[in-house]
Amino acid sequence: MTNSPLIIERQDALLTVTLNSPENGNALSTAMVDSLVSCFEGLMYDESVRVVILRAEGKHFCSGLDLKDPGMSPRERTPGALWAIQRSIGRIYPAMRRCPQPIVAALQGAACGGGFSLALAADVRVGSTDLKMNAAYLNIGLTGCDMGSSYFLPRLINASIASQLLLTGEFLKAERAYELGLIAHVLERDELLGAAQAYADTMLRAAPMGLRLTKEALNHALDTQGLEAAMAMENRHQSLLAMSNDAREAIHAFREKRAPIFTGE
């Protein structure tokens, strides 16, 4: 279905999930969020699928939240309305980690904000030479910790670099991400899918239960109090800051294509 925000293709035990809104940088719209949640939650007990490739059509992997989607910008910025949006988007990342199938992400262009967290929630990542990722939230008047970033980054790289990225909102480019071990390979765009497929083929050669339990064991070994605990604090802080004047200013500046002027209010 070309109009669907996701294209889901099945080849034997491999599922390829393609973000399919290239016209808006595959931004996280309500439809995109619901489709991703449905996809990954649906895999929980599907033993016929053993590996997932997550990729995207177009120039960018995922540019973050779709600020043009009315469902992502409530008319009344009340705590309840903003909390509901936070929780809705936040369903994606625990679903990806609870999904027992390894997820191989093929990343190109921008992977920002919630799109950065999509990359972080995968198990293996390959990236194009033009890949750039950041936790964009700080740049729009919010806290830099959102959508699992405070959980994923210190575990995947280290606390020092995670602090640098989350406290500045700066971009992490492909070569640096490779140096930090965040992505496995830096490739030309036309090589991305082949590299992801190679990882998937290797995983598909493993014993199915062994593959699943490897991911499960890694998840338990990495967790202390868990992703939900980290995201609970993120959601509260993010919902509070979303009511600030700076957050409103950031939205106006985005629509007017200018730099925001933050006042700390």
- pLDDT tens by residue, 180-239: 999 999 999 999 999 999 999 999 999 999 999 999 988 888 876 678 877 887 888 888
Q: What is the pTM of this model?
A: 0.89
Distance from C-alpha of 20 to C-alpha of 262, rounded to nearest angstrom: 34
Cβ–Cβ < 8 Å for 215, 102: yes
- Cα of 100 vs its chain's centroid, Å: 17
14-19: strand order across its sheet: 6-11, 14-19, 51-56, 103-107, 124-128, 186-187
Residue 265: the pLDDT is: 81
Rounded to 10 deg, the angle between the 79-90 and 227-241 helix axes is 140
What sign does the dihedral 165-35-229-106 (CA atoms) show? negative
What share of the chain in percent tops pLDDT 90?
A: 73
Say what the pLDDT of residue 81 is.
86
| Helices and strands (H, E) in the chain, number of each type | 11, 9
**For domain 6-190+225-256, is the CATH number 3.90.226.10?**
yes
Q: Write the burial class of residue 220 (CB in 10 Å: 0-12 exposed, 13-18 middle, 19+ buried).
A: exposed
Structure confidence at residue 224 (pLDDT): 63
pLDDT in tens, 1-17: 457 999 999 999 999 99
Strand (E) or helix (H) holding 236: helix 227-241
Classify the C-alpha dihedral 79-27-95-169 as positive or negative.
negative
Per-residue pLDDT averaged across 164-177, rounded?
Answer: 96
Question: Of 52-56, 90-94, 191-195, 244-248, where does mean pLDDT reach its minimum?
Answer: 244-248
Residue 185 tokens, joined: 């390979």
Distance in angstroms (rounded) separating the CA atoms of residues 148 and 121 = 8
pLDDT at position 2 is 57
Long-range contacts from 142-145, C-beta under 8 angstroms, 24+ separation = 142/238, 142/241, 142/242, 142/247, 143/234, 143/237, 143/238, 143/241, 144/168, 144/169, 145/233, 145/234, 145/237
